[in-house]
């Protein structure tokens, strides 16, 4: 596969989705999902549009957040999140994006993250530098946690599950003792793109699925960042947490995660 050619094709397809993405800002909930999650009509329409165009242009199947599709464990598969940050998007916040990753046997070999409201386009191909609006970006340099912005996922303090709310509060408390620059954007894909771009020193996702992570994994790896789950294990499409950071900061954050203890104890 010519990955650069595939990313060029995919870039044109995502560009064609920008107009309906912008036009649908503040769209209401159209489909109720698990818990208090939902999808807007824009999520559904963009996924249909992008899937049809990608499969026609590249011959590679797509697995999307809203409709599923080609199996994630296929040899080649595009992974699509048509609107990352749906709550933000519906509320009118500009912190929303289109995420597209390409997996080859479970490895994120290419990624595209489009931020239509700020006109930023990030692309990455394994082995090549991170590109921002078509311009190669320098590799990330080591940073310290104390000097870094760190993004964390949103949550309910009383929630249970794999990472209970009380555990998350404890972790944020411990992080805040080193970095007083914690941020909560409500869009995992944007957090990961901003790690790759050096805006954030690190980002923690307490949950998420492959469509939340795949594009960002490719971006951060191309930028020279460190990618893992919250236990420190290498990220895989089955990972349900993520820790991505610049060199230096990743190790510091992971030490704090481990010192916070076992989530099940909370």
Model pLDDT for residues 75-103, shown as the tens digit of each residue = 999 999 999 999 899 889 999 999 999 99
How far is the C-alpha of 77 from the C-alpha of 67, rounded, in Å? 14
**pLDDT surpassing 80 at residue 238:** yes
Question: What pLDDT band is residue 36 in, cutting at 50, 70 and 90?
Answer: low
> What Å distances lie between residue 255 and 52, 97, 170, 248, CA to CA?
44, 31, 14, 11
* Of the candidate ranges 5-9, 31-35, 48-52, 185-189, the one whose mean pLDDT is the lowest: 31-35
Domain with CATH 3.30.540.10 in the chain: 3-136
Count other Cβ atoms within 10 Å, centred on residue 182: 13
What 3-state class would DSSP assign to 190?
helix
Please name the residues in contact with 98: beta carbons below 8 A apart, sequence gap of 6 or more.
Answer: 14, 17, 18, 21, 46, 50, 81, 82, 83, 84, 112, 113, 114, 116
- Closest CA relative to residue 219, chosen from 84, 114, 87: 114
Mean pLDDT of 124-144: 98
Mean pLDDT of 197-203: 98
What 3-state class would DSSP assign to 36?
coil
Binding site for Mg(2+): residue ranges?
65, 81, 84, 212
Binding site: residue ranges?
65, 81, 84, 212
Helix 3-23 × helix 41-58 angle, to 10° = 160
Count other Cβ atoms within 10 Å, centred on residue 79: 27
Domain with CATH 3.40.190.80 in the chain: 145-265
Quote the DSSP letter at residue 97. Answer: E
How far is the C-alpha of 201 from the C-alpha of 133, rounded, in Å? 21
- Closest CA relative to residue 108, chosen from 67, 77, 62: 77
For 5-8, the CB contacts below 8 A with 24+ separation are 6/58, 6/60, 6/102, 6/110, 7/102, 7/110, 7/112, 7/123, 7/125
- Closest CA relative to residue 192, chosen from 113, 80, 253: 113
The reply to whether CATH 3.40.190.80 applies to domain 145-265 is: yes
Q: Mean of the per-residue pLDDT values for the chain? A: 94
Question: CATH fold of 3-136, please?
Answer: Fructose-1,6-Bisphosphatase; Chain A, domain 1 (3.30.540)
Return the pLDDT at 201.
98
Question: What pLDDT band is residue 29 in, cutting at 50, 70 and 90?
Answer: low
Mean pLDDT of 178-198: 96
């Amino acid at each position: 596969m010519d990955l650069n050619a595939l990313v060029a094709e995919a870039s044109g397809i995502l560009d064609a989705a920008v107009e309906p993405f912008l036009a649908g800002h503040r769209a209401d909930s159209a489909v109720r999902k698990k818990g208090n999650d939902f999808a807007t009509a824009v999520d559904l329409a963009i996924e249909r549009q992008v899937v049809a165009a990608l499969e026609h242009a590249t011959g590679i199947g797509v697995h999307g957040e809203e409709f599923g599709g080609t199996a994630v464990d296929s040899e080649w598969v595009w992974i699509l999140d048509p609107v990352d940050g749906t709550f933000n998007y519906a509320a009118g916040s500009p912190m929303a994006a289109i995420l597209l990753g390409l997996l080859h046997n479970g490895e994120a070999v290419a990624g595209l993250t489009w931020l239509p409201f700020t006109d930023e386009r990030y692309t990455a191909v394994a082995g090549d530098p991170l590109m921002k609006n078509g311009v190669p970006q320098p590799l990330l340099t080591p940073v310290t946690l104390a000097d870094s912005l760190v993004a964390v996922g949103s949550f309910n303090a009383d929630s249970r599950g794999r990472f209970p709310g009380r555990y998350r509060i404890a972790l944020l408390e411990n992080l805040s003792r080193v970095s007083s620059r914690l941020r909560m954007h409500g869009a995992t894909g944007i957090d990961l793109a901003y790690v790759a771009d050096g805006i954030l020193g690190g980002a923690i996702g307490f949950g998420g699925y492959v469509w939340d992570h795949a594009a960002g994994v490719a971006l951060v790896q191309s930028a020279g960042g460190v990618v893992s789950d919250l236990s420190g294990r290498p990220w895989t499409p089955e990972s349900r947490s993520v820790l991505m950071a610049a060199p230096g900061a990743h190790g510091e954050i992971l030490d704090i995660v481990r010192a916070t203890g076992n989530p099940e104890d909370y």
